[in-house]
Amino acid sequence: MQRTQPSSALLSSFLLLSGLILSGCGSDTSAPLAQTPQAQPASLSESSNDNPAAALQTPPPDNEVGYKPSAYSFPDCYTPEKLNGSTVANHRCSWAYNALELQTLISRSQPLTASSFLATHNAFNSSAYTGLSSSGDPNQSLSLNDQLQLGMQGLELDIHWIPHAASGAFAPVVCHGVGASMGHLGCSPTDPLLKDVLKEIRAALDKPENKHLVLMLDIEDALQEYVPPNNSKSSLAGHDMAAALFAEILGDKVYRPAEDKKCNSLNINTVSKQDILDAGKQVVIVGGCGEGSAWTQWVFNFDRKQKANDGFDAATCEGDFFSAADYQSKFTRLWHDSTRLSSVAIQGLQAITAAELKSMTLCGLHQASLDQLIAGDDRLPAAIWSWDEHFPKISGKAQCATQADDGRWRASDCEEKKQFACKVGQIWALSETADTWATGRQTCEANGGSFNLPLTAKENAKLNAVRSSAKAGDVWLNWKDATGKGAFKIPAKKL
């Protein structure tokens, strides 16, 4: 389709608003727009539970070209009025769980630098397990399975190389202790074997509701031997045994380094969650370079910038540590450790609150690693920057997404007439005219733009600033529910 020149009014809006920048949060992080694909006719068969988007029996309007036909489907128990689950078991029915799933859906085709992994810190160190050496000083109270059921996309494991009571031999053991140079103090021979921890994670991944989960398994590598009195040496046997367990238990689920070399880095500027799923995988294991060739066949080295949370400065996006470039090119992480052991060792530790998590998300932080995650945790809704509370609803009529006057998304009747959220390059603007949702693509293209959708919290805030400056009401976004049953299609790789 040949593009026309932008109208003078729309172009003026672009120029006027191109200088809008979120205070202290750096420059835009979204990927450049691809050329809008040409419309192609399509017909889909009858609906099924596995593919509710198949209920569309007529060719989709131009707006839907470029969207993959697979869709996220709400569980039958979805209750948008229930903001958060009061128990682990019913959290999947809540607004917070489903809104976060939809939010993840739209960003998963973007590079990992434009994505996020809400995680638990020291996920294994939980009072849900008996016999831990650290049972009196846990980071968590829920099992690994329950943490995943609450929507976590990252789990941190500390793996030590110590003798274990089950065999009397050295083995990879998961425990909360100090490094090998201090004798793995804090670990005990009765702490969980890595083998058993990985089996629990594998069982959770095999559940149907987790089939689209991309999990970052963050390994703190303490697979070293103690060398008295205060030294250590890396253990090839320990790394080989851990790698063998990754292969045996998680094997076909792991997105592995492509090259056989000493240290493979995960390219977070090109790889996306969708790439991982398209490869038939679900788990990315990140850690250091380790020891030996077996380890590097399963574990990525990882370029990231991280620190313990000492109180997040929302005004500058923690500018005394993170730069705007860090949020765009590195994997940024903040973590909290609630244990008494760490409170002594690390000064200034503060819990990550719901308000801080909301600010971290807006600033573009890639991973907030939480301690003391619980059912009904108020931090779970705080991670949602897109859908307004109670939206989207299951509706046969209100299926098209809008950005409302508070910047949050709602669903409206697609036949209503509203302005469209258009984008040229990295600049947001609104269409001059209002029309039904189905005409959005051609309306924006006629003005030199593309009908679009914010894929990050920062992008959403920039569009909201444009909408607010124009004193506009709700504006159409390029996303819809294909059936009225929560069948939201996956956006194209570069919308």
Query: Is residue 1 included in any domain, yes or no?
Result: no
The domain tally of the chain equals 2
Query: Is residue 81 included in any domain, yes or no?
Result: no
Copy the structure tokens of residue 51: 């593919």
Is the peptide bond preceding residue 392 cis, with omega within 30 degrees of 0?
yes
Q: Examine the domain organization and report whether 294 and 248 are in the same domain.
A: yes
Choosing from 338, 362, 382, the residue where a domain stops is 382
Residue that the structure tokens 């996020």 belong to: 116
Give the pLDDT mean for 111-120: 95
Q: What is the mean pLDDT of the chain?
A: 85
Query: Is residue 389 included in any domain, yes or no?
Result: no
Give the CATH number for residue 196: 3.20.20.190
Indicate if the pLDDT at residue 7 is higher than 70: no
In the structure, what pLDDT confidence band is assigned to residue 122 with cuts at 50, 70 and 90? very high
Query: Is residue 337 included in any domain, yes or no?
Result: yes
Q: Examine the domain organization and report whether 293 and 403 are in the same domain.
A: no
Indicate if the pLDDT at residue 187 is higher than 60: yes
In terms of phi and psi (left: phi > 0; alpha: psi -120 to 50; beta: otherwise), the region of 331 is beta
Residue that the structure tokens 């077996």 belong to: 294
Percent of the chain with pLDDT over 90: 73
Q: Which positions ≥6 away from 218 have C-beta within 8 Å? A: 119, 154, 155, 156, 157, 286, 287
Indicate if the pLDDT at residue 362 is higher than 80: yes
The total number of residues written for the chain in this structure: 495
Q: Examine the domain organization and report whether 366 and 401 are in the same domain.
A: no
Predicted local distance difference test score (pLDDT) of residue 103:
93
Copy the structure tokens of residue 105: 């859906």
Q: Examine the domain organization and report whether 257 and 160 are in the same domain.
A: yes
Q: Examine the domain organization and report whether 13 and 134 are in the same domain.
A: no
Domain that residue 377 falls in: 88-382
pLDDT digit string, tens, across residues 21-38:
333 333 333 322 222 222
Least confident interval from 3-7, 217-221, 457-461 = 3-7
Give the pLDDT mean for 415-419: 96
CA dist list (Å): 251 to 247, 254, 469: 4, 6, 52
Predicted local distance difference test score (pLDDT) of residue 394:
83
Is the peptide bond preceding residue 172 cis, with omega within 30 degrees of 0?
no
Q: Examine the domain organization and report whether 356 and 401 are in the same domain.
A: no
| Alpha carbons 108 and 216: distance in angstroms, whole number | 13
Query: Is residue 192 included in any domain, yes or no?
Result: yes
Query: Is residue 313 included in any domain, yes or no?
Result: yes
Q: Examine the domain organization and report whether 65 and 116 are in the same domain.
A: no
Query: Is residue 388 included in any domain, yes or no?
Result: no
More confident residue, 413 or 27: 413
Any idea what the Cα angle at residue 108 is, between residues 438 and 105, rounded to 5°? 55
Indicate if the pLDDT at residue 2 is higher than 70: no
Give the pLDDT mean for 464-470: 97
Indicate if the pLDDT at residue 57 is higher than 80: no
CB 218 within 8 A of CB 156: yes
Query: Is residue 83 included in any domain, yes or no?
Result: no
Q: Examine the domain organization and report whether 430 and 334 are in the same domain.
A: no
Q: Examine the domain organization and report whether 431 and 378 are in the same domain.
A: no
Q: Examine the domain organization and report whether 220 and 342 are in the same domain.
A: yes
More confident residue, 48 or 255: 255
In the structure, what pLDDT confidence band is assigned to residue 47 with cuts at 50, 70 and 90? very low
- With H, G, I as helix, E, B as strand and everything else as coil, classify residue 187: coil
Number of Cβ atoms within 10 Å of the Cβ of 4:
10
Predicted local distance difference test score (pLDDT) of residue 347:
74
Backbone angles phi, psi at 448, to 5 degrees: 80, 15
What SS3 string covers 327-355? HHHCEEEEECCCCHHHHHHCCCCCCCCHH
CA dist list (Å): 433 to 291, 358, 413, 429, 437: 62, 34, 18, 12, 12
pLDDT digit string, tens, across residues 229-285:
999 999 999 999 999 999 999 999 999 998 777 899 999 999 999 999 999 999 999
Choosing from 356, 382, 408, the residue where a domain stops is 382
More confident residue, 183 or 48: 183
Choosing from 382, 402, 433, the residue where a domain stops is 382
pLDDT digit string, tens, across residues 325-342:
999 999 999 999 999 877
Cα torsion through 472, 474, 479, 482, rounded to 10: -150
| Alpha carbons 345 and 16: distance in angstroms, whole number | 51
Give the pLDDT mean for 1-17: 38
| Alpha carbons 450 and 397: distance in angstroms, whole number | 25
Least confident interval from 2-6, 30-34, 107-111, 283-287 = 30-34
pLDDT digit string, tens, across residues 199-208:
999 999 999 9
Local structure of residue 231 (DSSP, 8 states): E
Q: What is the DSSP string of 244-295?
A: HHIIIIIGGGB---SS-SS-PBP-TTT-BHHHHHHTT--EEEEE---SSHHH
pTM, two decimals, is: 0.85
Q: Examine the domain organization and report whether 168 and 306 are in the same domain.
A: yes
Q: What is the DSSP string of 447-464?
A: TT-EE----SHHHHHHHH
Predicted local distance difference test score (pLDDT) of residue 210:
95
pLDDT digit string, tens, across residues 64-104:
656 665 567 888 899 999 999 999 999 999 999 999 999 99
Q: Examine the domain organization and report whether 182 and 286 are in the same domain.
A: yes
